[in-house]
Copies of this chain bind each other. A is one copy, B any other.
Amino acid sequence: MPENSLIFPADEYRRRIRALQGEMARAGLNALLLTAPADVFYTTGFLTRFWESPARPWFVVVPAAGDPVAVIPAIGAELMGRCWIKDIRTWNAPDPVDDGVSLLADTLMELVPASGRIGIPMGLESHLRMPVADFLRLQDMIAPRQIADGTAAVYRVREIKSEAEIAKIRATCTIADAAFDRVPGFVRQGMPLSQVFREFQVALLKEGADWVSYVAGAAGQGGYGDVISPADERPLQAGDVLMLDTGAVREGYFCDFDRNFAIGRATDDVRRAHASLYAATETALASLRPGMLARDLHRILSEALEREGAVVGGGRLGHGLGLTLTEWPSVTPLDTTELREGMVLTFEPGVEIATGRILVHEENVVLRAKGPELLSRRAPADMPEIMG
């Protein structure tokens, strides 16, 4: 990272702010109040793992015109001062009496007329990263200004990635590709899954991940039970399918894809399941186009799996990706979000081989005018077998 600690040139952030302000104008919002790590990073370039501490709230206010204002704990002033925005207001947090609330209220009252509306992300997949009691106090303090739903204003901008962002996500995918290549070199029968997870995280770091925010996976005879469990101490054995799924991070941008490995020879039903997942992904890669909806992608994938004789399983079949491990939309039958050029998505079809035995396959793509372009290197058509 350069001395000023910005991941991108300041112009990238200015474009984002102008785009947000365009959406805000259309939605009748006089400001946006942002509290989530990804929204703060998106608007300011402020990148830190310090979010891991729940102790302090952090606020960015995007006004109707002009640059954002940061209202943050003093401990972050040095790092925010190396970002592009100039108006940084701090307090000594955590303060049990007034943890930034009055400073934030003053800022909002300065930037927003009394009749104004302040948008916050409050819809699906959003959280407000501040204490609820302080949020209720804030509402009283800034009245008659109203808090309104700013979800769409934020999502419609953030979901379209710039070429600079796409390059970052591709770089992280390339790191994970290389780490997955190392798996057959360190995995062997008898190794506990916990050790596989540790070695895989080491491989991601060695290949250039700044940190590894997510590793999940599973191993089981002829398939696995779920895709979100931490590792157990069970040793790998012949007949297992090993799945590793990762959200590594480089310069603040995630990848999110998995790979499957047969321990010993893959059984026929595992091969068939893998072939159906591979074929369904090929179908989606060939047929998805901008203007389709998230639920259309669900239909494409699930119909392709059914044509292959597979039973669809494993939850949603994909989602957005970028500044967090998962972003909206969700590839479900219910999500009507339009898929647009520049969206980065995962295709994540899953099948149920038998009760309690699933197989999930995942790729990362960016949607272009002519269709999806892979960001992860395409998984092999046949599941790799680890014979050692």
Contact = CB atoms under 8 A, between A and B. Distances in A.
Contacts of A126: 54, 131-132
A231 interface: yes
A164 interface: no
26 contacts: A1-B231, A3-B234, A49-B216, A52-B214, A52-B324, A53-B326, A55-B125, A55-B326, A55-B328, A75-B227, A75-B314, A78-B226, A94-B124, A94-B330, A94-B332, A95-B332, A96-B334, A122-B132, A122-B133, A123-B131, A198-B208, A202-B202, A202-B205, A202-B206, A211-B212, A211-B215
A28 interface: no
A96 B122 contact: no
A228 interface: yes
Contacts of A53: 214, 324-326
Interface in A282-325: 314-316, 319, 324-325
Given A54-B324, A125-B131, A79 B228 contact: yes
Given A52-B213, A326-B54, A79 B123 contact: no
Contacts of A129: 127
Given A122-B133, A127-B127, A334-B97, A74 B315 contact: yes
Number of copies of this chain that the complex holds: 2
Contacts of A233: 1
Interface of A: 1-3, 5, 36, 47-50, 52-55, 73-76, 78-79, 92, 94-97, 99, 120, 122-133, 135, 149, 151, 194, 197-198, 201-202, 205-206, 208-216, 225-234, 247, 314-316, 319, 324-326, 328, 330, 332, 334-336, 356
A127 B37 CA distance: 13
Nearest to A130: B127
A48 B131 contact: no
A55 B319 contact: yes
A1 B202 contact: no
Contact of A94 (B97, B135, B210, B316): B316
A339 B223 CA distance: 49
A47 B230 contact: yes
A212 B210 contact: no
Given A52-B325, A54-B326, 6 more contacts: A5-B229, A48-B230, A55-B328, A75-B314, A79-B228, A128-B128
Contacts of A231: 1, 210
Contact of A229 (B48, B197, B316): B48
A261 B46 CA distance: 27
A258 to B, nearest CB: 13
Contacts of A315: 73-75, 92
